[in-house]
Amino acid sequence: MKLSTKILTAGGILALAAVVVAPVSAFVNDAINPLGEDFGIAVSPGSIELDFVPDGNVTELVRVRNVGQLPSRLKIGVSPYSVTDESYTSDELTETPRTEITRWTTLSINDCNVYRTDNDGSLYVDFAFKEECNVIVNVAAPSNAPSGSQHMSIYFQEFKELPGQGMETIRSFSARVFAANANDKSNRNGCANILNQDIPFWTFEGPVVTSSRIENCGNLDFFVTTSIQVKNLLGGNIVHEDRWEDIGPNGNIEVQYSNIGSQRKIIMAETTRKVEDAWENAPIGIYEITQTVQGLREDHVVTRLAIVCPLWLVLLILIFIIALVGWIVNRRRQHKK
């Protein structure tokens, strides 16, 4: 199934308005409209992980709430979901072997007014002021369902009907579905390559942004968690840490993270993703930065020297050095005379 051009345009408008449900995090809360507008829809969860079984049915629920001030109308449907580059730019138009799940999926709503259903199964819903309802997502995989992971989007297009025929899109956003063949997950080893881990040697001002490129060379999605630890090079003290070790209630060492929602990233099957981590308020100094990429039960760790020094300070130091050298040369010349 494919989205219309209007949906894509609305998606761009929504991105500018910063009202998009985050597409790749598995721990996304309601996307509450921060603009306080008359129209606003919240969806939870923003991301779904499910296992499908060939020749079987799986059902998930997506909660939709009207958090605006007026009644609204929604078009709800499914579309393919894939990525086009290492930054994970989304593509909701192109069908691939990993988006066949859209053909197995049907949507229904029991507790809201569905006043129209398109031939492709898209639903048109009257959404009253402060109304809440659940979208039932049913995935009926065929007996010959392919192995590995499947991906799709459940899109929510908020619109106003125009006089005559047509409609004006207010905004559009999506919840992502990351599905996997349960028969494959029972023996899930996975395949991951860390292509490179980069820590910048010199940064003029914060943030200090580290990055890693991670290749999923298998046919099942997996998650990685990235983190950095920063030590002051002179004193050896930890000045910033995303991840640290703590003693759990059972006495074992447990790894804790400062912000697991933003640090845990999905790496989709047969893709390469560039993942970044940032030390936002990095002051001037010389540091030792350790970057850790944890995925498929294995840690990949690199430690490098990093300098945070603004350009004006570099120029000031150079001017001082040049002046000092000139003074020394001048003193030697005077001494020879």
User: What's the gap between Cα 50 and its chain centre?
Assistant: 18
pLDDT band, residue 187 (cuts 50/70/90):
low
- What is the pairing mode between strands 192-198 and 208-216? antiparallel
pLDDT band, residue 155 (cuts 50/70/90):
very high
- Would the pLDDT of 2 be above 80? no
- Would the pLDDT of 238 be above 70? yes
As a whole-number percent, the residues of the chain with pLDDT over 90 amount to 53
Lowest mean pLDDT among 91-100, 130-139, 246-255: 246-255
- Would the pLDDT of 15 be above 80? no
- Would the pLDDT of 170 be above 50? yes
3-state class (DSSP) for residue 51: strand
What pLDDT does 255 receive? 83
Burial, 72: exposed, middle or buried (Cβ in 10 Å; 0-12, 13-18, 19+)?
Answer: buried
**Higher-scoring residue by pLDDT: 4, 314:** 314
User: What's the gap between Cα 90 and its chain centre?
Assistant: 11
DSSP for 251-305?
Answer: S-EEEEES-HHHHEEEE-TT-EEEEEEEETTPPSEEEEEEEEEEETTEEEEEEEE
DSSP for 176-238?
Answer: EEEEEEHHHHTT----EEEEEEE--SEESSSPEEEEEEEEE-SSS-EEEEEEEEEEETTT--E
As a whole-number percent, the residues of the chain with pLDDT over 70 amount to 87
What pLDDT does 67 receive? 82
What pLDDT does 4 receive? 40
Which domains does the chain carry? 5-185 (2.60.40.10), 192-310 (2.60.40.10)
What pLDDT does 84 receive? 96
Tell me the Ramachandran region of residue 55: left when phi exceeds 0, alpha when psi lies from -120 to 50, beta otherwise.
left
How large is the average pLDDT for residues 184-210?
88
What pLDDT does 3 receive? 39
CA-atom Rg of the chain in angstroms: 26
Whole-number mean pLDDT of the chain? 84
What pLDDT does 29 receive? 35
What pLDDT does 110 receive? 81
pLDDT band, residue 77 (cuts 50/70/90):
very high
pLDDT band, residue 35 (cuts 50/70/90):
very low
- Would the pLDDT of 7 be above 70? no
Lowest mean pLDDT among 1-10, 45-54, 309-318: 1-10
3-state class (DSSP) for residue 104: helix
**Higher-scoring residue by pLDDT: 177, 331:** 177
Which distant-in-sequence residues (6+ apart) come within 8 Å of 302 by Cβ? 197, 199, 290, 291
pLDDT, tens only, 80-96: 999 999 999 999 999 99
What pLDDT does 8 receive? 34
Residue 75, both tokens: 């078009």
How large is the average pLDDT for residues 223-250?
88
Lowest mean pLDDT among 132-136, 209-213, 230-234, 330-334: 330-334
- Would the pLDDT of 233 be above 80? yes
